[in-house]
Structure formats: C-alpha cells, structure tokens
A and B are shown apart, each in its own frame.
Chain A
Amino acid sequence: MSEPWPLVATGSAARRAIRDPGPLAVSLAFYGVVASVLATLWRTAAASHGGALAGYSSAQFVWYIFTSEASIMALNPRQIELTGEDIATGAVAVELLRPAPVLGVRIATEVGRCLPRLMGCALLGAVFATVMVGGPPRPAALFLAAPSLVLAVTCNLTAQHAFAGAAFWIRDARSTWFLYQKLVFVLGGMLLPLQVLPAWLHGVAAVLPFTAMAYAPARLASGHLEPWLLALQLGWLAVLAVVARTVFAAGERRLQVVGG
C-alpha cells in the first residue's frame, strides 16, 4: 500500500516545523502578548458596560479573542506573498512535473506547517484565558472548537492560495497580501465578535467566507454551542476549494503557453 500523499505532505511539513523551535517560540510569544492585550481590552470594555456587551460576557469575550487570534496567528501573515513569489519565479511551473495536483500538495503542506503553531497557540490561549477569567464557559462547545480551528486554518489557506493565484497574471499581485489580511481582521471576526459590528456590516460579513476563518471557532470556544458553524465552514471550504482550483488550473494553463 502506498501512503496517501496529502497525509505525508501535511505530516512532513508539521514535523519540519516542530524541528525548528526558535521561530515557533517567537510566534507563540507574539501571540501571547497580542491576544492578551486585545482580550484585556474587551474584558474591560464589557465590565464597564455592565458586565456584558453585544451578548457576550467578559469571560466569553476573553475566550473568543484568544481563539480568534489563534486561528489567524497560526498562519504566516505573508503566505500570499510567498506563494505569489513561487508562482512568479517559476517554482510552481516545475511542480507540474509531478503527477499530483500542484495546488493540493501546496495546501496540504501549508496546513501541516501551521498545525504546530495552531496547537501551541490554542494551548497557550486556553491557559491564559483560564488564568484571566476561569475555565471555558461551555466545555462542550470548546470540544467543537478544536476541529473548527483546523477547518478555519484550512479555509484561510485555501482562500489565500486563490488570492495568490493572481500572480499567474499580474507579477506584483503578491504585494497586496495586507489587503486580504485586513478583510479577515475586521470581517472575519478576529478583532471583535461579529455581533459587535453594526447590523449592516454584520450582514456583509455573514455572506463572506472570512467568518469561517476566525469567527466560527471563536464563537464556539466562547461558549455558544452552535454545531452548524462547522457545516458552514465545510461549505465555505468546498466553495473556496473550487475557486482556488479554477484559478490554479487557468494559471497553470497560462504557464504552459507563456512559459514559467
């Protein structure tokens, strides 16, 4: 029996990332500081607003923020730039010489690379949150947050690859990675729970895929037992996968005509 290549790709990348603890530690430290500060802000805000805000208590806010930050910080913020660079330099063209789909191998590898960071941040976040406000508001929901985090990261990476695919046509498209990042921050529910947004903005966010990347796991971890969020994530993952696949197929075809 041969091993299924997605598992090998993810596994190798994860092992590779663990073997380099320096950058991992720095990422975790950074996450610790950023998430703590933002969580403190919202906790103080809720406390000074009578204990609850937009339907979230102080404790729920804290668990929300630590989770939403973990789901985003697990990724390399410049992933779009790196993927775009690989496309522009022809590294992707050479990957066409393997009998496995270029996009599939890349996404599997990137997910693997993120997993150690994700687990580290999730663990650290849970500890910090417990110290700050006590245990998880609803352990059953937290249980669902774990697979939700993995789905969130996968959705995010898939979307980023679709975005990076612009580099097949526009060489400098990769430098617009920060645009994507900001969309996730605000509309994905990383900086704040979506319920805090004014109603119209919440409506906009609800129809965009970014909610699958931070809001979903954070909402679950903050104690709201809403298993349909996982279905939402799977749905978005399917859509994003199709989009990314289409972009890459077109891009690969272009490489074959125009040269890598």
Chain B
Amino acid sequence: MSSVMRAAVAEARSNRGAFWTQVSAMALNDIVWVLFWVIFFGRVGTVRGWDRSRVFLLFAVLTTGGGLVLGLLSNARRIGQLVVDGGIDAALALPVPPWPYLLVRGVDPVNLGDVVFGVSLFAVSGSPTLERTAVYLLGAAAGAVVLASFLVAAGSLTFFAGRSEAGDLGFNAIILLSSYPVDIFAGTTKVLLYSVVPAAFVAAVPARLVDHFRLPQAFALVGVAAAFAAISWAVFTAGLRRYTSSAIWTRA
C-alpha cells in the first residue's frame, strides 16, 4: 500500500502546472468563508448555541478532515467516475483488494493545503489546550471516516445506476451541508443530516465535542464512523459483485 501511495504522490507532483492556481483558489475560498462567518456573527451574536468560535472549530475540523480525505484518499469522490470510464477495471486486474487500493491510489496535494488551513485556524482561534487538541484531531479523523465512507457509498451507487450523477451530487451535497452549524436546521432536514447524509458527523458534532466534551456523544461519533465505514464497504462490495458478474454498459 505504501508503495502505491508513493507512486500516487509522485504522479500528483508532476502535475505542478495548475497547482498554485488551485491552491490560491482554495485559499481565497477559505478566506471568504471565514469573512462570511465573521460578518454573520458580528451581526447575529449566537444562533442556537453556535457562535463564531464554534463555527471556526467546525471549519477547522472540516478543512482538516476533508482535506485529508480529498487529499490522500482523493479517489473516494471519484468512484462514480471510475466506474463509468472503466478505471475500476485497472484496479481489478491487480492482485490486491480493490477498495483500499483505489482509495490510496489517488493523491491530490492541493487539498492538503486545506489541512494546513484547518490546523492553523484551530491554532489561532480554537484555544488549543492538550485536551481540546486531542478531541479536535480525533474528531477530524472520525469526520474524515464518515465523509470518505459516504462518498464511496454514494459513488458506488453508480454500479447500480450506470451513471455517475449520484456520486457528484452526493459529494457536493455533503461538503456543502457539512459546512453549516447543523442546529440551524429543524425537523426532517435535521434527521436527514444525522442519518442518510451524515453531514452532521463530518464537522458539526466533532466541533461541538471540542467545546463541550461528553463521553456518550464521543462514543456515538466513533460508532457512527465505524458503522458508515462498514456500510460503505458493503455497498461497494455489492456493487463490485454486480459489476463483475454482469455486463453493465459503461462508456468504456
């Protein structure tokens, strides 16, 4: 696995052309986001238990965890595309289990910039004590697992549907929904965000835990992460079985 990762990093390194543009784009994106919340809370104060510092925690967790997933496991978001254009076949031709191979094989160093941003944000505004830092890191890790699992599961729907739209939509939806304090939502939407599209667990729950650590909730987070990992593995495997055993028309 490590050799695969090394190769992936080398491949990513060679694409230096658009690298700095993408990095600037992401940096600008992050800055605008921070600015937005500064203005927002400047006017509003607190909303349903969320204030500026907690939203910054959310953003730090999201950029750290999300950056890790999109940076190191960048194929997680591309499963749908890989199915449609035959990239899965390349993985199947090798004597390694496809799921971990595919995940580790794609590296997008641009997104690692987000990790840097997240860590810096936490250092600057997160009042980092030893405990808070530990919760932040573990929370980000758990959130990353949830995110990666969701992306793989959504992408795996392409095995069944034949088109990659579900994966793309899923990716955009979860990233978007994860970047908001979940408590602004009510009713069915809120339930959705804690279940089907687990955006709440990607960043909001970990952020709340940093501020207000409660063991049962921490266990719940870890449990959910593990559960989603299992679900995504199951969906992917089922989809792969269908893919290899029948003739699904793909563009390849």
**Whether chain A touches chain B in the assembled complex (some CB pair under 8 Å):** yes
Stretch at the interface among A48-56, A85-93, A208-216: A48-56
Given A41-B184, A44-B47, A182-B32, verify A192-B40 contact (CB < 8 Å): yes
Beta-carbon contact of B28 and A196 below 8 Å = no
- B195 located at the interface, meaning its Cβ lies under 8 Å from any Cβ of chain A in the complex: no
Name B28's closest neighbour in chain A (CB-CB). A182
Complexed CA–CA distance, A45 and B180 (Å): 12
Name A34's closest neighbour in chain B (CB-CB). B176
Given A33-B176, A40-B185, verify A198-B42 contact (CB < 8 Å): yes
Complexed CA–CA distance, A172 and B24 (Å): 14
Number of chain B residues close to chain A: CB under 8 A: 29
Q: Smallest Cβ distance from B60 to chain A, in angstroms?
A: 19
Beta-carbon contact of B46 and A48 below 8 Å = yes
Beta-carbon contact of B39 and A198 below 8 Å = yes
Beta-carbon contact of B45 and A26 below 8 Å = no
Main SS at interface, chain B: helix
Beta-carbon contact of B32 and A48 below 8 Å = no
Complexed CA–CA distance, A175 and B17 (Å): 11
Given A34-B176, A198-B42, verify A45-B47 contact (CB < 8 Å): yes
A-chain residues with CB within 8 Å of residue B28 when the two chains form the complex:
178-179, 182
Beta-carbon contact of A53 and B25 below 8 Å = no
Complexed CA–CA distance, A175 and B39 (Å): 28
Beta-carbon contact of A37 and B177 below 8 Å = yes
Number of chain A residues close to chain B: CB under 8 A: 28
- B244 located at the interface, meaning its Cβ lies under 8 Å from any Cβ of chain A in the complex: no
Complexed CA–CA distance, A179 and B22 (Å): 11
Complexed CA–CA distance, A196 and B39 (Å): 8
Name B20's closest neighbour in chain A (CB-CB). A175
Beta-carbon contact of B36 and A192 below 8 Å = yes
- B21 located at the interface, meaning its Cβ lies under 8 Å from any Cβ of chain A in the complex: yes
Complexed CA–CA distance, A78 and B241 (Å): 38
Given A53-B43, A178-B29, verify A44-B36 contact (CB < 8 Å): no
- B35 located at the interface, meaning its Cβ lies under 8 Å from any Cβ of chain A in the complex: yes
A-chain residues with CB within 8 Å of residue B177 when the two chains form the complex:
33, 37
- B215 located at the interface, meaning its Cβ lies under 8 Å from any Cβ of chain A in the complex: no
Q: Smallest Cβ distance from B47 to chain A, in angstroms?
A: 5
- B251 located at the interface, meaning its Cβ lies under 8 Å from any Cβ of chain A in the complex: no
Interface residues in A170-216 by Cβ distance below 8 A to B read 172, 175-176, 178-179, 182, 185-186, 191-192, 196-198, 201
Chain B, residues 165-204, CB within 8 Å of chain A (1/0): the string is 1001100110011001000110001000000000000000
Beta-carbon contact of B184 and A40 below 8 Å = yes
Given A37-B177, A175-B21, verify A30-B39 contact (CB < 8 Å): no
Beta-carbon contact of A49 and B44 below 8 Å = yes
17 further A-B contacts with Cβ under 8 Å, apart from A41-B184, A44-B47, A186-B32, are A26-B168, A30-B172, A33-B176, A37-B176, A40-B189, A41-B180, A44-B184, A45-B44, A45-B47, A48-B47, A49-B43, A54-B43, A175-B18, A178-B24, A178-B25, A192-B39, A192-B40
Q: Which residues of B contact A (CB under 8 A)?
A: 18, 21, 24-25, 28-29, 32, 35-36, 39-40, 42-48, 165, 168-169, 172-173, 176-177, 180, 184-185, 189
